[in-house]
Amino acid sequence: MFKITKSIKKQNHFIKSRSKEINNWLMEHGISKKEAKKLVIFAQENIILKVFLNLISLEGKNKRKFITEIIYIVLYSRLLYTNLDGAETKEVKIEKIKITKIIETLLPTSTNKSIMKVNYEKEVFNDIKNFSSFSDEIINKRKHFYYSEIGTIFSKISDDNGDSFYKYGYLLSMYVITYFESDFESNINTYNNFLFKLKLNDLLSESTKEISPFYFNGIISKVNKWLTKKSKMFKFREGAW
């Protein structure tokens, strides 16, 4: 566990070493210098990105060849995080508009013809529907686009096991967002949400074991430790990430 924890922690150094390259790309695509700097800081604190980079290393691949994918994860996850905040500042709203425009007009939909894009969010809801008050109407309104895109990016790590990596990236990003939804939005911290988190946690654990059985305990431990730490200090406001 020490090795995997230390390895995930070291990803900050890699992100910092590529900060100029990431900054330049963002500014070339309409992000201001100030906004780009915040996004690089956000990247250094992003557990989804850190795990992504760590899995690349575990698969014996060169992280420098995944710079574009790194930027995509930063943009997709940034929108997921900021969408949790009901009281946005003007600057955050402007940033969201710019990132959304980049995603809608510049970023191609991530493709990997060897994988099946499963909507795991809907699957989790369907699994617990009979034990909760979730209706089909609520389930069908759930948006899984960003989770799916992050999952597709994760699938590129593996040449032989793309479906499992897609599933893991999808579930990891959904688990992180669900964790903060429960922690900061008291109005949805209900029995329904508890069942959703419980099922999601089981699926994420199974998925982690499938893609990395040797480092399974270390990855799970690091993710949960990070979430616990952030839940105590994190506030949804400008610059929080």
Name which of 38-42, 183-187, 202-206 the model is least confident about: 183-187
Number of Cβ within a 10 Å radius of residue 23 = 16
User: Which one has a higher pLDDT value, 194 or 135?
Assistant: 194
Q: Does residue 218 belong to any structural domain of this protein?
A: yes
Residues with Cβ within 8 Å of 66's Cβ and at least 6 positions away in sequence, in order, are: 52, 53, 56, 156
Distance CA 153, CA 156 (A): 6
Q: Does residue 3 belong to any structural domain of this protein?
A: no
What mean pLDDT is predicted for residues 43-69? 91
Q: Does residue 233 belong to any structural domain of this protein?
A: no
Cβ(85)–Cβ(92) below 8 Å = yes
Backbone angles phi, psi at 187, to 5 degrees: -70, -15
Q: Does residue 240 belong to any structural domain of this protein?
A: no
Which structural domain, as residue segments, surrounds residue 87? 8-228
Q: Does residue 160 belong to any structural domain of this protein?
A: yes
Q: Does residue 43 belong to any structural domain of this protein?
A: yes
Tokens 């949805």, residue located:
188
Q: Does residue 144 belong to any structural domain of this protein?
A: yes
Both structure tokens of 194: 């508890």
Q: Does residue 140 belong to any structural domain of this protein?
A: yes
Grouping H, G, I as helix, E, B as strand and the rest as coil, residue 29 is: coil
pLDDT in tens, 128-166: 877 777 666 666 666 667 999 999 999 999 988 999 999
Buried b / exposed e along 107-132 (16+ C-beta atoms within 10 A): beebebeebebebbbeebbeebbeeb
Both structure tokens of 3: 């090795």
pLDDT value for 219: 82
Backbone angles phi, psi at 206, to 5 degrees: -65, -40
Tally of structural domains, the chain: 1
- pTM, entire model: 0.85
